Amino acid sequence: MNIPLAERIRPKTLQEYLSQQHLVGETGALTKQLQSGMIPSMLFWGPPGIGKTTLATIIASQSKRPFYQLSAVDSGVAAVRKIIEKAKKAEGLFTTKNPILFIDEIHRFSKSQQDSLLSAVEKGLVTLIGATTENPSFEVIPALLSRCQVYVLQSFSKKDLEDLLKRAIAIDTVLMKYDIELQETQAILKLSGGDARKLLNILELVVISEISQSSTDEKQKVVITNKMVQHKVQKNTMLYDKTGDQHYDIVSAFIKSIRGSDPNAAIYWLARMIEGGEDITFIARRLVILASEDIGNANPNALLLANATFQSVTSIGFPESSIILSQCVIYLASSVKSNASYLAIKKGQQLVKQTGDLSVPFSIRNAPTKLMKELGYGDNYAYAHDYENAFVPHEFLPKEIIGTTLYQAGNNAKENQLKAYLKSLWKDKYDF
């Protein structure tokens, strides 16, 4: 059987486990739990290839508990119930050492599937260990989340990844047959994206592909360099999960960079999304929203350009649309900012929630029928265009909230002009 390198050297004990010292070090939470023998249900949250499955198997092994493993991708309620039934039948045998049920990618379980776990976890029939790359706060139902400890697994450091490479070369029964020299590691680390499985797969790939089958050397020399790795692997696979936390984190960084008027950072995050295969129309939609939310009337052209960008990338497609996105991002990042429009509608919505369905003043109601006119609809309405400068003071708000100011102009050249104009019309009626 051709067992992958990552599986061949999978750690068997906490001492062999690299990184996550806040969990598995001498004073780590998991170390103390294993020492006490009291293992709670838990969720491991961290990026792919960080060792969540490995840690679960180590916990089961060192605590000497039966271990059941499911993947949420191809398992459903029936599979969960089958394991719970096994646990029930063996309940007398295990006493305090109830079985561990490990569910990989638990965030892919539906609400009903997660509900099926609740009773068994609550009664202690199984100790649940769930692995997820998503934020459990959003992807795990509250009832199950409250019954689990959440442990965050941190991304591997450069030293962790290099130590992993050295460990693989030193202990793997296949790799130790060759004289492997890690002359350069930048390329292999970059291509792995911090994923240990991917790192070891690349290492195995470049070593095996470099071996000469006709060589008579007892221990062939393999020198790993950046150029050699790039040549063997070919495609630079960027770390960017379009549906996970990495997606939301990078989008957040992108938006905040534009809002913070840093075109250089904004272009960098734009490039990360493009290289990661993000949907270009998704990016363009976010720019349209930002043009109103963060720039608004401080520069009305921002919305026009953002909307034109959305239309353009939709019709042109990739890769040329990246240039259009770049132009728009630079313009928005370099533009004067104002969130006055955003704040105004938020205040308006809050006011509506507080005051309810206030009646529309009769003077500004529509009166399409004779009966409505007889009832006073439209009485005393002053048509603005009949007056000088197309303005005449009138009351447009319900009487309960007369004089309420929702729009506070931003402090920028364009909105200062708007503020001065509105002040000249309304005098002291509103707080402009």
Q: What is the pLDDT of residues 383-414, one digit of tens each?
A: 999 999 899 999 999 999 999 999 999 999 99
Establish if 290 belongs to a structural domain.
yes
Same domain, 139 and 33: yes
Reported as a single tens digit per residue, the pLDDT across 40-82 is 999 999 888 889 999 999 999 998 888 999 888 777 788 888 8
238 Cα distance to chain centroid: 16
Query: Would you place residue 245 in the very low, low, confident or very high pLDDT band (cuts 50, 70, 90)?
Result: low
Judge if 328 and 418 occupy the same domain.
Answer: no
Residue 94's pLDDT band (boundaries 50, 70, 90)? very low
Q: Indicate whether 140 and 188 sit together in one domain.
A: no
Residue 240 maps to a domain: no
Q: Between β-strands 179-182 and 100-104, what pairing exists: parallel, antiparallel or unpaired?
A: unpaired
The CA-based angle 61-65-70, given to 5 degrees, is: 85
Task: Identify the CATH number of the domain in which residue 270 sits.
Answer: 1.20.272.10
Compute the mean pLDDT over every residue in the chain, rounded to the nearest whole number. 87
Helix (H, G, I), strand (E, B) or coil at 165: helix
- Mean pLDDT, residues 260-285 taken together: 90
In this prediction, residue 244 carries a pLDDT of 57
Report the C-alpha gap between 231 and 76 in whole angstroms.
Answer: 42
Strand order in the sheet with 127-132: 67-71, 100-104, 127-132, 42-45, 149-152
DSSP H or E run through 127 = strand 127-132
Residue with token string 């039948």: 89
Let me know if residue 348 belongs to a domain: no
The answer on 258 and 222 residing in a single domain is no
Q: Work out the average pLDDT over 7-29.
A: 88
Say if 11 falls within a structural domain. no
State residue 325's pLDDT score: 96
pLDDT in tens, 293-304: 999 999 999 999
Q: Are residues 30 and 100 in the same domain?
A: yes
What is residue 278's predicted lDDT score, i.e. its pLDDT? 82
Q: Kindly state whether residues 175 and 273 are assigned to the same domain.
A: no
Domain total of the chain: 4
Q: Which two tokens stand for residue 279?
A: 């949907």
69/130 Cα distance (integer angstroms): 10
What amino acid occupies position 29? A
Q: What is the pLDDT of residues 313-359, one digit of tens each?
A: 988 877 889 999 999 999 999 999 999 999 999 999 999 989 888 99
Query: Count of CB atoms within 10 A of residue 155's CB?
Result: 15
Measuring CA to CA, which residue among 278, 285, 298 is closest to residue 328? 285
* Statement to judge: residues 389 and 289 lie in one domain: no
3-class DSSP assignment, residue 358 = coil
Which one has a higher pLDDT value, 36 or 258?
Answer: 258
Percent of the chain at pLDDT exceeding 90: 47
Structure tokens at 312: 């353009």
Tell whether the model's pLDDT for residue 95 goes beyond 80: no
Give the pLDDT confidence score for residue 76 in this predicted structure: 76
- For residues 192 and 198, give the distance between their C-alpha atoms in angstroms, rounded to a whole number: 5
Q: How confident is the model at residue 236 (pLDDT cuts 50, 70, 90)?
A: very low
Q: Does the pTM exceed 0.85?
A: no
Q: Which of the two residues, 97 and 26, has the higher pLDDT score?
A: 26
The answer to whether residue 223 is domain-embedded is yes
| Domain match, 61 and 143 both | yes
The separation between CA 326 and the C-alpha centre of its own chain, rounded to angstroms, equals 23
- pLDDT-based confidence at 184, cuts 50/70/90? very high
According to the model, what pLDDT value does residue 239 have? 54
Q: Are residues 118 and 37 in the same domain?
A: yes
pLDDT at 406: 93
- Give the pLDDT confidence score for residue 246 in this predicted structure: 66
Sign of the dihedral defined by the CA atoms of residues 200, 202, 205, 210, in that order: negative
Last residue of a domain, one of 178, 206, 233: 233
Q: Which residue has the higher pLDDT, 4 or 305?
A: 305
Query: Residue type for 211, please?
Result: I
Range of the domain at 315: 245-334
Residue at which a domain ends, from 334, 364, 385:
334
Instruction: Give yes or no: residues 322 and 261 share one domain.
Output: yes
In a domain, 192, yes or no: yes
Distance CA 9, CA 170 (A): 10
Write down the pLDDT at residue 216. Answer: 58
For the chain, what's the residue count? Answer: 432
Q: What is the CATH number of the domain that holds 184?
A: 1.10.8.60
Q: Which of 334, 364, 397 is the last residue of a domain?
A: 334
Q: Say if residue 176's pLDDT is above 50.
A: yes
Residue at 6 is within a domain: no
In a domain, 264, yes or no: yes
What are the residues facing 223 on neighbouring strands?
A: 181
Q: Residue 4: what pLDDT?
A: 86
For residue 218 the two structure tokens come to: 């007892």
Instruction: Assess whether pLDDT exceeds 90 at residue 111.
Output: no
**176 and 255 together in one domain:** no
272 shares a domain with 168: no
Beta bridge partners of 290: none
